Amino acid sequence: MATIYEVSKLAGVSLATVSRVMNNNANVSDATRKKVTAAMDELGYRPNSIAQSLASNCSNSVGLLVSELQGPFYGPMMSGIENTFRNQGKHLIIAAGHSDEEREKQGIEFLISRNCDGLILHVEAVSDDYLIKLSKGRTPFVLINRYISELSDRCILLNNINGGYLAAKHVLEQGHKNIAYISGPLWKQDAKDRLEGHKQALAEFNLEFDENLLFQGDFMEASGYEGLKALHQQTHPFTALICANDEMAVGAMASARDLGLTLPKQLSIMGYDNVFFTRHVYPQLSTVNYPINEMGRMAADWVLSHVYQKQTPPLQTLFEPELVIRHSISRQ
Amino acid sequence: MATIYEVSKLAGVSLATVSRVMNNNANVSDATRKKVTAAMDELGYRPNSIAQSLASNCSNSVGLLVSELQGPFYGPMMSGIENTFRNQGKHLIIAAGHSDEEREKQGIEFLISRNCDGLILHVEAVSDDYLIKLSKGRTPFVLINRYISELSDRCILLNNINGGYLAAKHVLEQGHKNIAYISGPLWKQDAKDRLEGHKQALAEFNLEFDENLLFQGDFMEASGYEGLKALHQQTHPFTALICANDEMAVGAMASARDLGLTLPKQLSIMGYDNVFFTRHVYPQLSTVNYPINEMGRMAADWVLSHVYQKQTPPLQTLFEPELVIRHSISRQ
DNA sequence: GTTATAAATGTAAGCGCTTACATTTAATGT
DNA sequence: ACATTAAATGTAAGCGCTTACATTTATAAC
């Protein structure tokens, strides 16, 4: 690989001049610019961005930490972020945290040590304190789907309480009185919030939340399957099941079928997230829309604005969920 | 951020010694090692991996280029790769190529310029020549889902001809004689191969391929929808539709419903890829399994073996598809 | 033709590490 | 006690760039 030195020699100019035409910031005469670019072409020169970033302390790349690289939820998020950055010449370095404290920390440290100019974090396991401490460091970051009051201006959130409320209210309005609930892991804030909204709606309808009808899942399909099976075995009856996300809802649907329940007649099921396949399951799943792609874009805009001082559309920090009514809820 | 220099000063040793304990390769006495690690802890020292990688010309990170960051296909692939690397202390830098020649090149160049030790490429738009030229460079790479004879030892492939054959044979065995086909973009090799396998099966059953029953899609859901709509409007009848991937199949299913066709009675539909939601659509989609997660792992193993000289399970380059029979094909 | 000023270019010091080589220290054999 | 060798540590060059500052060259004003 040719270096800047060889280019400068071939073009008959100094290193600094070559650097200047690369970053076209300073004054370079047209004639020498031509000479230099010609030399670059001839040598097939590509700047070593590692060296650039060491010397300039700016890497034009931002770090993204997600829990998983796969799944219908993270895909649109990564995609929204990447799309926003691509047009601005910023690159993405992605690491996975797997909802594990140690791995999340490792990921964050890797991204920082790679000279990322900014970070977008979707972290779950790491503590508030850790993040607050991190915020004193030199690498700015924005948080998706996590609220820390000390860092509230950089938390991009969905109103999950409202989302849980919306879902339950819809089911209640269809006449259901006994509603089972498969939650996410209750140590996660979003899982807690969704359940809280659920309870609020129940209270509004003067219904009590029945702990027997709660199953704590882990946001994955299998736990939806297991959850419904378990709920079905206990004695308290229910006509509807609300799941804290779509993947568990889909697992529950499979379970329902194995249990011989016809959907939605014998059991209404409600999801959350509105991931793309919910339109395609049978019956089409009613759910709550999580505008994760937009939230990803917003996080990217935050970085563009705070790290690179770019003009962006106005920043928004709280997003609202929306009810998506399809065919998985029957009228009672 | 503390640098190695400050650590060395605090510990009262030289830079080199600090470096040695970090890379624990050379001989360092226990006493000084203790002193150094203590100093590191006290300063909260984190090595700057950019500087490491500039100095050592090894970054312990490998670049991954995918077409899209989202979608049911790339998720498991990225995940398989990341899982393999995580345990080996290698990091992943991911870029998206969007099936566009310019962007694929940009992505590759970015990854190289970031000192990636090796590359895993899922590229579609870039030419064979470009890749052959790239292979002369200093950054080793492995190709997923692409065959170039000059580079055959580093092409990790699914036998798509066989996959197309398997799908068609199954449909034919169920008694269908008039089969429509929605292909991928025929400039892509995998799309071509699947169609070729399809035709082989037809020939085996002494049936001619009817060009009127071919619609060229783009592997995305919408084109499946449009495809079936278009096929339905022309006059040649058909009882089955084979789609070159699951997303188009799902689009076609939606289209079929809008057209008032009952599935699978009035129209049998077959997919390809076996992405995870195919089990959940209605009727459950028969398809062809694409072991993309395993292929991702294999690509990672290739890098581990060829770039980092690690011991790996034996490398395999050609993978075989498998028929997945569910409920979307009716007997004629 | 001078001089003042701006534009263009060059020089050289880092950025934070690794590593070949040199030097010092400790361990061993006699 | 001394030489021999191995282990531990230090010195300094360099990875490929950026950039503050210095210097040269062109431009304009008189």
User: pLDDT (tens digit, 9 = 90+) per residue, A257-309?
Assistant: 999 999 999 999 999 999 989 998 989 999 999 999 999 999 999 999 999 98
Contact with chain B for residue A70, Cβ under 8 A? yes
Q: What is the pLDDT of residue A202?
A: 97
Contact with chain A for residue B22, Cβ under 8 A? no
Q: Which residue is nearest to nucleotide D14 (CA to C1')?
A: B55
**Å separating the CA of residue A6 from the C1' of nucleotide C11:** 17
Whether residue B94 and residue A91 make contact (CB cut-off 8 A), yes or no, is no
Residue A321 above 80 pLDDT?
yes
Topology alike, domains A4-47 and A160-290: no
Q: Chain A residue with minimal CA distance to B76?
A: A70
Sort B27 into a burial class: Cβ within 10 Å, 0-12 / 13-18 / 19+.
exposed
Whether residue B70 and residue A79 make contact (CB cut-off 8 A), yes or no, is yes
Q: What is the pLDDT of residue B17?
A: 94
Sort A44 into a burial class: Cβ within 10 Å, 0-12 / 13-18 / 19+.
exposed
Amino acid occupying residue B309? Q
Which bin fits B130, alpha (ψ -120 to 50), beta or left (φ > 0)?
A: alpha
**Contact present, A140 and A307 (Cβ < 8 Å):** yes
What is the average per-residue pLDDT within A64-70?
95
CA count, 13 A, side-chain hemisphere, A25: 4
Q: Distances from the Cα of A262 to the Cαs of A258, B152, B280, in angstroms?
A: 10, 51, 15
Residue B35 above 80 pLDDT?
yes
Q: What fold characterizes domain A160-290?
A: Rossmann fold (3.40.50)
B191-248 pLDDT, tens digit per residue, is 999 999 999 999 999 999 999 999 999 999 999 999 999 999 999 999 999 999 999 9
Q: What is the pLDDT of residue B76?
A: 95
- Residue B332: pLDDT band by 50, 70, 90 thresholds? confident
Q: Distances from the Cα of B318 to the Cαs of A8, B18, B309, B322, in angstroms?
A: 46, 46, 22, 13
Contact with chain A for residue B253, Cβ under 8 A? yes
All structural domains of chain A with their residue ranges? 4-47, 60-158+292-320, 160-290
With CA of A46 and C1' of each nucleotide, the nearest comes out as D16
Q: Distances from the Cα of B257 to the Cαs of A161, B221, B254, B261, in angstroms?
A: 36, 15, 5, 6
What's A60-158+292-320's CATH class? Answer: alpha beta
Domain B60-158+292-321 part of CATH 3.40.50.2300 = yes
The closest alpha carbon to B85, from B53, B117, B128, belongs to B117
Contact with chain B for residue A3, Cβ under 8 A? no
Q: Rounded mean pLDDT of chain A?
A: 94
Q: Rounded mean pLDDT of chain B?
A: 94
> What SS3 class is residue A25?
coil
Crossing angle for the helix pair A49-56 and B49-56, to the nearest 10 degrees: 130
pLDDT > 90: what percent of chain B? 88
- Residue A87: pLDDT band by 50, 70, 90 thresholds? confident
CA distance A194 to A248: 14
B237-282 pLDDT, tens digit per residue, is 999 999 999 999 999 999 999 999 999 999 999 999 999 899 989 8
What does the CA dihedral A205, A209, A213, A218 come to, rounded to 10 degrees?
Answer: 100
CA distance A202 to B48: 53
**Å separating the CA of residue A15 from the C1' of nucleotide C11:** 10
- Hunting for tokens 């280029």 — which residue is that? B65
Q: What is the pLDDT of residue B13?
A: 92
pLDDT > 70: what percent of chain A? 100
Classify domain B160-289 at the CATH superfamily level.
Response regulator (3.40.50.2300)
DSSP assigned state of A285: P
- Residue B24: pLDDT band by 50, 70, 90 thresholds? confident
Sort A82 into a burial class: Cβ within 10 Å, 0-12 / 13-18 / 19+.
buried
What is the average per-residue pLDDT within A52-76?
93
> What SS3 class is residue B107?
helix
- Residue B151: pLDDT band by 50, 70, 90 thresholds? very high
- Which residues from chain B sit within 8 angstroms of residue A79, using beta carbons? 68-70, 96
Least Cα separation, residue A242 to chain B (angstroms): 18
Whether residue B79 and residue A95 make contact (CB cut-off 8 A), yes or no, is no
CA distance A125 to A102: 8
Domain A4-47 part of CATH 1.10.260.40 = yes
Least Cα separation, residue A247 to chain B (angstroms): 10
- Residue B87: pLDDT band by 50, 70, 90 thresholds? confident
What is the average per-residue pLDDT within B17-30?
87
